[in-house]
A and B are shown apart, each in its own frame.
Chain A
């Protein structure tokens, strides 16, 4: 019995020690000229200001995050320095799942030189990741999370350091539903999500708006991330005779659904529609010819909508990386980075020795105070819950299943709604 007691005592003390290590140390602090209720980052003279990305940059969805990272790098190239200090970008891969988001955020939170972060890509990463960063006093601006609940007025205080330049999916769902109802003039739609906050939130937003406009949802189905055999679920959907299948999910599973829907009897001529998670040349690789003719809702990047400011940005992108944009959130990432850099510019103070001090709470407040700020994606104003986007959404159509013909926003995928003059 005695040995057991010793063991338990040991285990408890080890747990306490480990737990104590992870309790965030972000007390009120005064450093140099700055006092901040959460903490202060000191950047010594000659050292760079560290900001981080946490995006999915490997795996089937890697293009979504690489595209955003390109936007961040261009923003840093453009700014070169803030208050005379160079900018250093570090980063973590998030894998488009909750575990990856947790790991990346935990690693970044351990870096006390980190001023702010840009990320994440998938909403499933932000849900556990953003609170971890905020506990360490690090504000993060997401260029790509779109799940409605992340900026819901009832969100918990854990998300107080979270903002996004991406649109809220309440908007995207409504645009998609309006397109299907008024342009395609269809009334029966089946939806499929993959259980991720992004896909589930968007499928629900679409369904709500579609029903309000007099349409019927014939089946609301779900698959798992990592599933390969979609035929049973598609057969079940076929029995409800929809005119369109709406599956706002990610590349691998989306590819399986597009391909296999052509092979299930009764679905050969049913139209397909996805969302921004599938706006990726890898999706064409996954779906092949089955993708041709499919619709996708995504941010609208046409010059008529965003103006020449986007065209200038796009030229920089293509010059630097020698490729067409890999996805759709590069401009949002560019804006997110610039928001952070201009907020640092506002709140950073230098002392006599030339060291820079940035208050964490002050930086967070400066980000939330953004109002009427002109970015590439529009005029950004942050609400108290972190929604900063000026959402412009379009519906695109894929015109060729060949990834080498990827030319987003121009011919493939080709924007078809709303019509601009």
Chain B
């Protein structure tokens, strides 16, 4: 401690402190303003939280793919949003075909299962193809190169779908069983959102168990800790990487089905924004960390849904929902200022650096 506090106090740290204080002030004053105005009752807050959770669980499912690939290869798979889109798009064709002869009305859960399997299979196929063609040849290249390849793959997939199925959107069929609301413990919740939340949580738990309890999951963790040592221990690194891409892509495909269930539109560009948001979730939760991606996704969904009303409405800002993205990304910056490794941090940060 050779220097005093004031000597270390630079203009940049002044700015950072001012930023932290402003955001905290906005949050406190805005929350107080909104709650004391009494405009929104408990029923509305519960609705908003449920909207946030259903959106967030979809982000979380997509974020898993980002975080797992990052954990192993230290690369960001920007084509992952398009893998999600490919799942949702094929799910549309499967659902429309099944709906055509009334299958969805007669066997709704079997129908959902078939649609999910189709979507996950397609997404896995697309994910593996991208890995094989765009990333594996570049495995030894500098880190920036696969990143550019990922962006290229993303555009390629988007415009392939556009070429095949047109630039317009397709309307998803309504699942007769999932129409309307149901009441759980006195809280009204839309059936589609309940399916999205339950489905996402189920898949996340399954994936967590897969990584923590199975042999291949252990191998994945070993490769993620140290690829060279893992290879020396007789682990087939290429195979582990393929499995990682496959599992991540399957989760994204399932997320595509849940997303389409809730929003009922699919089009070629639909993967872009959820992809960016899911990447943000992964960073928020601590990239490379699987529970972190889940926490980050749910946190981002909640912030997007409740943040503008809770914090900005109380400050008297008109039409605050337009600012929900600004708000979500401000939160990201804030979390990263306070905890540069994300909410749950990267446990092996020191070792990987």
Which A residues have a C-beta under 8 Å from some C-beta of B?
58-60, 62, 195, 220-224, 226, 228-229, 231-233, 235-236, 238-240, 252, 255-256, 259, 263-265, 282, 285-286, 288
Contact = CB atoms under 8 A, between A and B. Distances in A.
B28 to A, nearest CB: 21
Given A60-B267, A252-B169, 20 more contacts: A58-B167, A229-B51, A229-B55, A229-B263, A229-B304, A231-B51, A231-B305, A232-B51, A232-B304, A235-B47, A235-B48, A235-B309, A236-B40, A239-B40, A239-B44, A255-B265, A263-B181, A286-B265, A288-B174, A288-B264
B47 A60 contact: no
Interface string B291-314: 000000000000011101100010
Given A238-B44, A288-B171, A232 B306 contact: yes
Interface stretch (B71-79, B203-211, B221-229, B319-327): B319-327
B2 interface: no
A224 B181 CA distance: 27
Given A256-B263, A263-B190, A236 B168 contact: no
Given A229-B305, A235-B48, A259-B264, A60 B169 contact: yes
B39 interface: yes
Nearest to B174: A288
Contacts of B43: 265
B265 A252 contact: yes
Contact of A236 (B41, B174, B309): B309
A159 B168 CA distance: 31
Contacts of A59: 167-168, 267
Contacts of B309: 232, 235-236
Contacts of A232: 48, 51-52, 304-306, 308-309, 321, 324
A60 B166 CA distance: 10
Contacts, number: 87
A222 B171 contact: no
- Which of A59, A221, A231 is most buried by chain B, counting CB atoms within 10 A of its CB? A231
A228 B304 CA distance: 12
Nearest to B55: A229
B265 A264 contact: no
B318 interface: yes
B152 interface: no
A181 B20 CA distance: 48
A233 B44 CA distance: 11
A415 to B, nearest CB: 26
Contacts of B263: 228-229, 256
27 contacts: A58-B168, A59-B167, A59-B267, A60-B267, A62-B168, A220-B318, A221-B321, A221-B322, A222-B321, A228-B265, A229-B51, A232-B48, A232-B52, A232-B308, A232-B309, A235-B51, A236-B309, A238-B44, A240-B39, A252-B169, A252-B265, A256-B263, A263-B190, A282-B168, A286-B169, A288-B171, A288-B174
Contacts of B313: 236
Nearest to A63: B168
Contacts of A226: 273
B94 to A, nearest CB: 19
A235 B44 contact: yes
Interface of B: 39-41, 43-44, 47-48, 51-52, 55, 166-169, 171, 174, 181, 188, 190, 263-265, 267, 273, 304-306, 308-309, 313, 318-319, 321-322, 324-325
B39 A223 contact: no
B196 to A, nearest CB: 11
- Which of A226, A232, A240, A259 is most buried by chain B, counting CB atoms within 10 A of its CB? A232
Closest 3 CB pairs between A and B? A222-B319, A58-B167, A222-B322
Nearest to A230: B321
Contacts of A265: 43, 47, 188
A296 B306 CA distance: 31
B158 to A, nearest CB: 13
Contacts of B169: 60, 252, 282, 285-286
B61 to A, nearest CB: 16
B126 to A, nearest CB: 22
A221 B190 CA distance: 24
Contacts of A255: 265
Nearest to B172: A288
B343 to A, nearest CB: 22
Contacts of A231: 47-48, 51, 305
A40 to B, nearest CB: 38
A306 to B, nearest CB: 29
Nearest to B270: A228
A195 B168 contact: no
A195 B190 CA distance: 29
Nearest to B322: A222
A270 to B, nearest CB: 15
A114 B306 CA distance: 51
Contacts of A195: 322
Contacts of A264: 47
A211 to B, nearest CB: 15
A233 B321 contact: yes
- Which of B48, B168, B174 is most buried by chain A, counting CB atoms within 10 A of its CB? B168
